[in-house]
């Protein structure tokens, strides 16, 4: 059972789902609903309840846009695809998705050992345990995703989101930008909470879960500096201080 929390409205037409450890987002648009990331398998009941409360159903989800293919962001792709949603992932991460949850350690091997972090902060074990309890390591492989490469404009999807490649956390890490609404969904390329280290505030994810930390820091320069943009990360609370301030803080901190 997932330790879900009440669904929050975090921006106009955007609902934050998931729990205190991981976020995914429902984006409302007159042309249909989009999901940015897909949480853990344990979030299915929360998601279904929320849709029912809205008078909607899974078939109303037009597409799922994955920021990357780590298993805490892909847990609901299979049932949503069965309901009719397109699932999109950057080409460089497609093999992780089709290889199943454990393929991430092989195809996007982290730079650092988790053990080193746990010796300094034993409570950090809660992050991987949370994933395990909510089915993060047992979801089936998913080979039906549609692939894209690099920076891509989804002109036919509701809200016309723009994908911006931000490799580093994984090779295919992607941010999604809704320029007309001032929204930037950063996935794990830029977060405001790292469950393993306990750090809060804008930053990149620790080396225990990052494939290439130098690339992750360099990719911060690719995020658009939209005026008054709301940053919506894969982990942690929204950041409303602007993208420039968030990336500056992340660079100052460096990679843990």
Which helix (H) or strand (E) element contains residue 97? helix 94-99
Instruction: Report the SS3 class of residue 231.
Output: strand
Beta bridge partners of 162: 153, 177
Give the span between the Cα atoms of 189 and 144, in whole angstroms: 24
Q: Could you report the per-residue pLDDT of 112-122, keeping only the tens digit for each?
A: 999 999 999 99
Residue 165: other Cβ atoms inside 10 A: 19
How sure is the predictor about 23, in pLDDT bands with cuts at 50, 70 and 90? very high
Q: Could you report the per-residue pLDDT of 54-107, keeping only the tens digit for each?
A: 999 999 999 999 999 999 999 999 999 999 999 999 999 999 999 988 888 888
Architecture of domain 8-253: 4-Layer Sandwich (3.60)
Give the span between the Cα atoms of 92 and 58, in whole angstroms: 27
Q: Could you report the per-residue pLDDT of 197-241, keeping only the tens digit for each?
A: 999 999 999 999 999 999 999 999 999 888 789 999 999 999 999
Residue 255: other Cβ atoms inside 10 A: 18
DSSP 122: G
Q: How much of the chain exceeds pLDDT 70, in percent?
A: 98
Q: Could you report the per-residue pLDDT of 123-169, keeping only the tens digit for each?
A: 999 998 999 999 999 889 999 999 999 999 999 999 999 999 999 99
Beta-strand pair 146-148/14-18: unpaired
Mean pLDDT calculated for residue range 18-22: 95
The answer, yes or no, to whether residue 1 has pLDDT greater than 50, is: no
Give the span between the Cα atoms of 168 and 174, in whole angstroms: 10
Query: What's the whole-model pTM score?
Result: 0.95
Beta bridge partners of 152: 163
Beta-strand pair 61-65/86-90: parallel
For 179-206, b/e burial (b = at least 16 CB within 10 A) is eebbbbbbbbbbbbbbbbbebebbbbbb
């Amino acid at each position: 059972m997932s330790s879900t929390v009440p669904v929050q409205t975090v921006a106009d037409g955007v609902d934050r789902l998931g729990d205190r450890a991981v976020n995914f987002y429902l984006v409302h648009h007159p042309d249909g609903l989009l999901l940015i990331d897909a949480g853990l398998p344990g979030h299915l009941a929360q998601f279904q309840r929320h849709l029912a409360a809205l008078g909607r159903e899974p078939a109303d989800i037009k597409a799922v846009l994955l920021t990357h293919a780590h298993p805490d962001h892909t847990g609901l792709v299979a049932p949503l695809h069965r309901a009719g949603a397109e699932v999109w992932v950057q080409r460089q991460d497609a093999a992780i998705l089709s290889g199943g949850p454990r393929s991430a350690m092989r195809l996007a091997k982290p730079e650092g050992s988790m053990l080193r972090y746990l010796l300094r902060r034993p409570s950090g074990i809660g992050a991987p345990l949370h994933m395990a309890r909510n089915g993060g390591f047992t979801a089936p492989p998913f080979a039906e995703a549609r692939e894209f490469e690099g920076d891509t404009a989804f002109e036919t999807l509701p809200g016309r989101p723009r994908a911006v490649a931000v490799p580093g956390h994984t090779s295919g890490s992607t941010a999604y930008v809704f320029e007309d609404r001032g929204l930037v969904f950063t996935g794990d390329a830029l977060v405001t909470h790292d469950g393993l280290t306990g750090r809060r505030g804008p930053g990149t994810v620790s080396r225990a879960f990052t494939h290439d930390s130098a690339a992750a820091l360099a990719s911060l320069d690719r995020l658009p500096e939209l005026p008054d943009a709301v940053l919506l990360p894969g982990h942690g609370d929204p950041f409303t201080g602007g993208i420039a301030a968030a990336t500056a803080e992340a660079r100052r901190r460096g990679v843990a």
